[in-house]
Structure 1
């Protein structure tokens, strides 16, 4: 009963079928859009428009408002009802239908289907109770064609009409297959896009998981750097205090010596004063004059009037301030130039790995490309391309090494695993996932890893470079040692093997290790 009552509520009072695109009048009654528009058309020219159900009048043609909620309910009810479609001609018992005929607007079981007309006009489809939306509204004929230009389903009369004349029209099934194929292609593209998005999400999630670990590492390194700075400031303070103590002792000794000298002079002067006072007390003029001639005359010649000119030494505060300033500048300079990172000393080039078109200097510090075959014996370690490794590898800590490069020619510098191939194109530095490099060609820097070459915006301004490696932190950075030092690029990776410094030179280029 509940289902029957619901169906009554979803039935149009004009066509007595389930609502199709239901609309609402001002009075609140609902009708199929097509049904109420037909009624309103018949009322054109009359004094008023009336609701077919309650006869409510309106001077102007009512504005039809689509009832979205009712439409959704009707569609759901229809979809559930269509799951059980019975044969129209089996009136005494309920027999499930096998097909529905659009022309007859009837559903047929297998038995009645055998006697049904096979004429092309009798279009058979899957069982349905909704025949209205499968026929053309103006012509009441079965929709059998599709106009791709207007994206409309058409009946025979529509195809012959003025609106679609000359348009590309297909059979409904053909258009259906084409649209399905296109949809499949779009679906495949969307699936690929989704996979790319998923990869991006996974990559970001992986990056997100490593952020706390990297942050912890950075915190530790910041703590180490600040501890080093504090230690150096403490050392600078100790040095300044020692200098002050040293100056204090020296100045104190100097001033004490001057005081002793002046005390001696004071005693001498006091004696002279006593002598003169005794002479002045002599009552006999002859004796006074005789004594004055010798004693007083000697005192006048021995008198020292330069006492006021004596200046004592003082603490050299300006020298102490200069020491402090120099120390602070050195600390800051050390921070800017990687003072807290160990310098990779002892980097020498390994001739046994050098290709025959790379010349290695006698001090094993410079690699160049003289365009002369070096005729070295073939070994498993030797590269086929213009490459040479260092003898030393690094697998822990933070360190840097500096190089000087040529302005002309082509060169590449970086780090590589020892497991890199030695022959073929995949042995080129940056052409694999085992090496990371920086290149300069003419006035352009670029970085390369795993066959991915990326140009850098920074233009070359110096011939000296710094390569910084934080093995544990998974960072390989390149800097240009100009004024100021310029960061070029940083690779982030999880290193799994020891890393060797690697040089590539060709076209008269050269690189010299400065460490």
Structure 2
């Protein structure tokens, strides 16, 4: 509350010329108070030296008033200064180079709070008060501060332009409307603004709708990108699992082959060693027998030789001869594994095209601008020829099947399942895809349209009236 009181006192004891606290306050006959130097300078600068006016109420005085110091205001100011009342507005209240300055302020100008389209002037908060208090001024149109107020003044008649010439598409004043713009389609600037405001709102609605459509498209593309990422991640994950399973299967088969080979190796080596031991035992026995026979053969006593000879044990049956095959015990295994490898490589080469990265492309076509000139259309031009197998028998095709003419006499076309029999129509041979453009020269009524021969083939349809 104390701060509010200080603010109220400050407005009361401020000079409306310098907008600062009163210095050497003086009161003129109308009751308004100013700094002595401010009011002196103001009257010194006035063009007319036969009357003097109050800067606030505009009351005039024939004789220049004698200025006497207002002692009560001076004492009040001294007391308020002791309470901490600031001597000047904050710097941010003054108009800078980019701001709109108050047109009433003298000396250092304050920022404008509003601009008046009737007064064609800008006012700070203090000088704007009269527009809120005076009934005639209340009717004025106030807008945000503008530096372009003079653009509303007719350069020819120095009048505010309140009318709009639709013929010449320019703002005019009333005098313009009865002189050089006489007879033109003229309306008030407010009426033209209302009309263009409606157009503007329509344009905004169109823009907002397009923004919504594009935002939907962006959302769809984001969803598409997310779907692509999810699909790719799943494909990579599934592929890694499959290849991991395949690697594990190959490792298991490799382990099985290794185990089978080692097992067979152990059995074969064991059998060979068993035969080797038998042969070594037989060799030992034969050597012992040979030694006995050798000893007996050296006996000199014939009787003793004949006596001991029958006691010799007979030779045991000899082991069958061993036939060693060429060393190729496990070559078949190597051959078999090589065949598996070759078949696997063949399968990979044959099927890899199906596994290669041929993912579905995102088919997104941004809308292309509509052509405005014939040259722009010709970029999409298509050469059309007519299909004789579809032409009705009342149509004559000529000029390399590019011209169709209605004939009174039926033409002798061969029978064909695609021929029109009830309607005087003919299809083009060419299929039309994407954006297409063609030109047709005609005499009489000719209907040109796009038809569908089947679900995949779009054809040009030309129909002539009966």
Q: Give the TM-score range, shorter chain.
A: 0.3 to 0.5
Instruction: State which structure, 1 or 2, has the greater radius of gyration over its C-alpha atoms.
Output: 2
How does the TM-score come out when normalised to structure 1?
0.35
When you count helix as a share of all residues, which structure comes out higher? Answer: 2
Give the strand-richer structure, 1 or 2.
1
Q: TM-score scaled by structure 2?
A: 0.38
